[in-house]
Structure 1
Amino acid sequence: MRIETIYRYPVKGLTAEALEEVTLSSGEPLPHDRRFALAQGDAPFDPAAPAWLPKRNFACLMVNARLTLAHTAFDARTGELVIRLPGMSPFVGNTRTPEGRAAIATLLTGFLGEEARGAPRFVESPGHTFSDVSKKVVSIIGLSSLHALEQAAGASLDPLRFRANVYVSGGAPWAEFDLVGREILLGQARLRVVKRIVRCPATEVNPLTGQRDADPPRWLREHFGHAELGVYAEVLEGGRISVGDSLQVTDPVD
């Protein structure tokens, strides 16, 4: 298998940022992936004592489809987050200051409108990741599996509906499921594949239009008997991964 694309998602539910290469660290996700989130006003998230919470506690595509229309870009060097909302001039917020985070929260809360609950907060907690699962993971999708779903459903699906970190080509459809419990070499990094990814209504949302115009979870169940696409992997040994690098299984089959 070969790495075709790499993405990070600095703010949970918001824009994917393409990378040509990135260095992974042991026990960590991609740098800056799901680093920030807009916590709903009724979410019990405490930045001083961060704990994993289900995605509904935060602005997320499963519930807030219009988030796809908010285009963002994060500069890790300066801490600035640029937000472009439909019909508005670009906004630049400083994620490193309370005032900057409050301004970002105000802007996104106004954009969510009635979907905002209480007084949402733009949150970060060093070392914490706002992932859909409690472990720090890298998500991987085999494009052959996605193409099998497209063929079965008779629909074209933008890979970004599934918000994976790494998309790989080659291999048979669903071949990545056979990697669960095994170690792989991804570029220069060594990972262990830990579980399949169960797909939720977030994948119904067209990343270009913000409309719910497809039903991948139902299509997966109807055509393949499960609602899973892609796998999560934990980084065992860090290293650089780049577009064009290979994914290789490093442990023997029992």
Structure 2
Amino acid sequence: MTKTVTDIWRHPLKSHGREALDSVTMIAGQTLPGDRVWAVAHESSKADGSEWAPCANFSRGAKAAGLMAINSKLDDASGQLTLSHPDRPEISFDPEAPQDLQRFLDWEKPLMPEGRAASARIIRVPGRGMTDTDFPSVTLCNWASHRAVETAMEQEVSPLRWRGNIWFDLGTAWAEHDLIGKQVQIGEAVFFIRERVVRCLATTANPETGARDLDTLKALNDTWGHQDFSVYAEVITGGDIRLGDSVEVL
């Protein structure tokens, strides 16, 4: 079976939408360009943009399911980010413009649950995306594992629940776990596979509605004894990746 790239996704504002790409140019030691460039720090957060901070510092889908239904589009030239949601009007703004912050916070507020720390500011750490790992990571997803989850749950499951970056089909469920410690070439880029991605409550929310409607974590734990899906990889050689490019274990 020929292993090829089927999907490329980026999430410009952490936990606030996804955008499909046809191609991307990876850079060694960095996250996927345009992925988690910004994050929304809440009022209890200690993150100030000077360095990487754990996900607990940010407004995210694990705590606010409504955020999972956001779609995004980043204009790389202008820096304008456009967000859309089934329950909110479309909004375009500059995440780095102080005059746009309150407009974004007002737009997001109805999607946040009562009693949670309110979103307060948008931060950016120079030189890296705000991934959940303390190293700049790219999330690689295996369609065979996704199909196994659908079989276990006896229904279709949107792949958008996993918020992955690059998708391909290894033909065997959980084969990606066997790649940890190995190098994989995707298109022109080479990745070192670092670790599994442990999943959170964000995956229980429907990416179309933002409502929690599937217990993905229970399905993973009951069926396989873990709640992992996909792997974190580090870019060790940069280069272009396009839809249809080959995936090869080195």
TM above 0.5, one fold?
yes
Q: Distance in 1 between matches of 2:9 and 2:84?
A: 19
Structure 2 residue matching 1:185: 3-state secondary structure: strand
Query: What secondary structure does 1:114 align onto?
Result: coil
Give the Å deviation of 1:43: 0.2
Contact 2:10–2:32 under 8 Å retained in 1:
yes
C-alpha distance in structure 2 between counterparts of 1:152 and 1:119, whole Å:
36
Q: Structure 1 residues 71 and 190 mapped into 2: Cα distance closer, same or farther (>3 Å)?
A: closer
Corresponding position of 2:51: 50
Cα deviation, 1:172-225, whole Å, max 9, x if unaligned, reads: 111111100001111110110000111111110110111111111111111112
Q: Name which of structure 1's ranges 240-249 and 62-71 shifts more when overlaid on structure 2.
A: 62-71
Structure 1 stretch displaced more, 235-244 or 209-218: 209-218
The alpha-carbon distance between structure 1 residues 92 and 247, as it changes in their structure 2 partners (threshold 3 A), is same
The one-letter code of the counterpart of 2:117 is R
Deviation larger for 104-113 or 94-103: 104-113
- Tell me, yes or no, if structure 1 residue 239 matches structure 2 residue 234: no
Contact 1:40–1:59 (CA under 8 A) maintained in structure 2: yes
How many residues align? The count is: 248
Q: Cα–Cα, structure 1 residues 186 and 103, in superposed 2: closer, same or farther, change >3 Å? A: same
Matched, 1:249 2:249: yes
What secondary structure is seen at the aligned counterpart in 2 of 1:129?
A: coil
1:90-105 equivalences in 2 (<5 Å): 90-105=90-105
Conserved in 2, the CA contact under 8 Å of 1:220 and 1:227?
yes
2:19 alignment counterpart: 17
Question: Aligned partners of 2:87, 2:153: CA distance in 1, in Å?
Answer: 35
Q: Which deviates more, 86-95 or 58-67? A: 86-95
Per the normalisation by structure 1, the TM-score is 0.91
Q: Helix, strand or coil for the counterpart of 2:114?
A: helix
Q: What is the root-mean-square deviation in Å for CA atoms of aligned residues?
A: 1.7
Question: Displacement, 1:111?
Answer: 4.1
- Kept in 2, the 8 Å contact 1:101–1:123? The answer is no
Whether the 8 Å CA contact 2:26–2:238 is kept in 1: the answer is yes
Q: Is the 8 A contact 1:104 1:122 kept in 2?
A: no
> Which residues of structure 2 form unaligned runs of 5+?
none
Q: CA deviation at 1:118?
A: 4.5
TM-score normalised according to structure 2 size: 0.92
Measure the CA separation in 1 of the matches of 2:10 and 2:119: 27
Aligned sequence identity (%) = 31
Task: Name structure 1 gaps, 5 residues minimum.
Answer: none
Give the corresponding residue for 1:29. 31
Q: Does 2:200 match 1:200? A: yes
Offset at 1:95?
A: 2.4
Q: How does 1:1-254 map to 2 (within 5 A)?
A: 1-47=3-49, 49-53=50-54, 55-86=55-86, 88-112=88-112, 114=114, 116-118=116-118, 120-250=120-250
